[in-house]
Amino acid sequence: MHNDLLCSYQLTLLDAYRKMNTSQKEIVFVLDEEERLVGVLTDGDIRRLIAEGRDFSTSLSSLSYPSCKLLMEGEDMAKALEPLAKDGFKVGTGVVRILPVVNHESRVVDAVDLRETAFLPVASPDIGTKEFNYLVDAYLSGWISSSGQYIGQFEDTFSEYVGVEHGVACSNGTSALHLALLALGVGPGDEVIVPDLTFAATINAVFHAQATPIIVDVEPEGWTIDCDEIRRHASAKTKAVIAVHVYGQPCDMTALRGVCDDLGLALIEDCAEAHGAKFDGKMVGSFGDISCFSFFANKILTTGEGGMCLTASSELADTMRKLRDHGMSREKKYFHDTVGFNYRMTNLQAAIGCAQVSRIDEISDQRLALERAYREALEPLDLFEFQPDLERRTRTVWLVVALVKGDSPTRDAIISALRRSGIDCRNFFYPLSDMPVYAPYKTKSEVTQSLSERGLCFPTTTTLKPDYVERLRDALLEWQCNEATG
């Protein structure tokens, strides 16, 4: 496939130029007599050399070649291309289109055409002109810290969207969880139940509050916290549950409310991955005593970094407002009657948030459509089990996720194959209970173990043309063929 790109350095500029003309590719890889890569030459390079007075009969061996970007055989292409992609694939004055792949002897074994293989990130934010306009407005107003009109506006519009009375914006999703725990009076000696399948921020917040986590397994149906496990592991010391709507799937809120009421536990919803998901037609985030959202750049809605606590209780909201602002008295400025934090959101972040809230239906619909495209393209391959759709639970799409039909080596082989094609595919969260820092707090976790070994997250980037779904399918087909033929 790359033979038409190879050019011996005993040839001339004219030979190289003719080669490009035949291959219809604007580059050749120049090789020494031992067929090792010396450098690359593009049509632009040839034009410059001619303009500088070189002759077409110049031997390629008399030219000097600056070091060029290349890939090593077997290298993780997604990783290698990541820094290049950040610069729009610019190297020096030009834009790289075709990269040589070399082995450890510097022999060219393959070529990668970046136009077909441009690095595809697992997630990128959907921010556009509206966000930019609001941001510039906040910037020009001079209110760039945590005062300014956008903060209140963001709290109001987002809490109204979810259908909860009070919104308290803060610096990120983790500080939102910390504020929620503190406002509910959780502290040293108290236990908080968290699911095993989640991002580490959920359990870290429990440590920040100096409480003790109890990690419980998730249910096989929805992959969300198992209410029977909560009943089994709650004790007299247990104060609260943090339920996570993991990968956009709502928890069973009827069962959760039931168990929390029975046992007298506070219920915190971690909605970081589920903006807009619904249970019984009602938004997640409207069921818990407090619910917490993240607006990190890879979440459904983003403010760069950011978070928000929602609650129906004005007392809880007041406590959280005070704690996020150094514990300063709400009545008497600069008088502190409790030790607080600086967990404030800036007006700049809130401005982006306001634009995002106004676009949430459009953003959610695009993510759902992308997931549909994935299902249609990949179902015929019979490789994956997609996230289940359950009665009463209306999922939203954070990342497009699926389980591999097979074991974990298959999952890892698929991820490697996709990454070699420049497609950034990720495995599921590791079970919290597998990580030594959290392991002392584990109970049992068979379901989480199995999900975590088989789960993968596909690129969920709605700002690119969705034709990358076909590219991903083709890479999988090629992998399947190679597997079948050994």
Ligand X SMILES: *Cc1c(COP(=O)(O)O)cnc(C)c1O
Residues 29-48 that bind ligand X (CB under 6 A): none
- Least distance from C-beta 307 to ligand X, angstroms? 5
Q: What is the DSSP string of 443-477?
A: ---HHHHHHHHHEEEE---TTS-TTHHHHHHHHHH
193 versus 469: smaller Cβ distance to ligand X: 193
Report how far residue 175's alpha carbon sits from residue 340's, in angstroms, rounded to the nearest whole number.
12
Residue of 42, 198, 224, 394 interacting with ligand X (CB under 6 A): 198
Q: Minimal CA–CA distance to 290: which of 127, 165, 113, 422?
A: 165
The single-letter DSSP state of residue 286 is: S
- Least distance from C-beta 124 to ligand X, angstroms? 15
7 versus 211: smaller Cβ distance to ligand X: 211
7 versus 242: smaller Cβ distance to ligand X: 242
Report how far residue 257's alpha carbon sits from residue 255's, in angstroms, rounded to the nearest whole number.
6
- Least distance from C-beta 38 to ligand X, angstroms? 47
42 versus 396: smaller Cβ distance to ligand X: 396
Q: Does 448 bind ligand X (CB under 6 A)?
A: no
H or E stretch covering 311:
strand 307-311
Give, in degrees to the nearest 5, the angle at Cα 301 between 154 and 447.
130
Residue of 202, 249, 346, 356 interacting with ligand X (CB under 6 A): 202
What letter represents residue 253's amino acid? M
H or E stretch covering 400:
strand 400-404
* Choices 137-145, 267-275, 404-412, 457-465 (CB under 6 A): range interacting with ligand X: 267-275
Q: Does 196 bind ligand X (CB under 6 A)?
A: no
In this structure, how many other beta carbons lie within 10 angstroms of the beta carbon of residue 127? 18
**Sign of the alpha-carbon torsion through 219, 222, 225, 227:** negative
Report how far residue 326's alpha carbon sits from residue 316's, in angstroms, rounded to the nearest whole number.
16
H or E stretch covering 238:
strand 238-244
Contact residues for 59 (Cβ-Cβ < 8 A; gap 6+)? 9, 10, 11, 12
39 versus 307: smaller Cβ distance to ligand X: 307
- Least distance from C-beta 17 to ligand X, angstroms? 52
Residue of 96, 201, 355, 447 interacting with ligand X (CB under 6 A): 201
108 versus 168: smaller Cβ distance to ligand X: 168
Task: Give the three-class secondary structure for 478.
Answer: helix
Residue of 167, 195, 304, 307 interacting with ligand X (CB under 6 A): 307
Q: Does 199 bind ligand X (CB under 6 A)?
A: yes
- Least distance from C-beta 277 to ligand X, angstroms? 13
Residue of 296, 384, 441, 468 interacting with ligand X (CB under 6 A): 296
- Least distance from C-beta 346 to ligand X, angstroms? 14
- State how beta strands 191-195 and 238-244 pair: parallel
- Least distance from C-beta 473 to ligand X, angstroms? 27
Q: Does 374 bind ligand X (CB under 6 A)?
A: no
* Choices 170-178, 208-216, 328-336, 448-456 (CB under 6 A): range interacting with ligand X: 170-178
- Least distance from C-beta 452 to ligand X, angstroms? 14
Give, in degrees to the nearest 5, the angle at Cα 357 between 356 and 360.
85
- State how beta strands 384-386 and 90-91 pair: unpaired
- Least distance from C-beta 294 to ligand X, angstroms? 3
Contact residues for 131 (Cβ-Cβ < 8 A; gap 6+)? 351, 352, 355, 356
- Least distance from C-beta 31 to ligand X, angstroms? 48
71 versus 272: smaller Cβ distance to ligand X: 272
Q: Does 273 bind ligand X (CB under 6 A)?
A: yes
Report how far residue 227's alpha carbon sits from residue 233's, in angstroms, rounded to the nearest whole number.
10
Q: Does 224 bind ligand X (CB under 6 A)?
A: no
Q: Does 289 bind ligand X (CB under 6 A)?
A: no
* Choices 119-127, 194-202, 400-408, 477-485 (CB under 6 A): range interacting with ligand X: 194-202
Task: Give the three-class secondary structure for 310.
Answer: strand
What letter represents residue 133's amino acid? N
What letter represents residue 468's amino acid? Y
- Least distance from C-beta 242 to ligand X, angstroms? 9
Q: Does 279 bind ligand X (CB under 6 A)?
A: no
Report how far residue 41's alpha carbon sits from residue 100's, in angstroms, rounded to the nearest whole number.
12
111 versus 271: smaller Cβ distance to ligand X: 271
Comparing every residue's Cβ against ligand X, the nearest one is 173
User: What is the Cβ-side half-sphere exposure of residue 430, based on CA atoms within 13 angstroms?
Assistant: 9
209 versus 476: smaller Cβ distance to ligand X: 209
Residues found near ligand X in the complex (CB under 6 A): 172-174, 198-199, 201-202, 244, 270, 272-273, 294, 296, 307
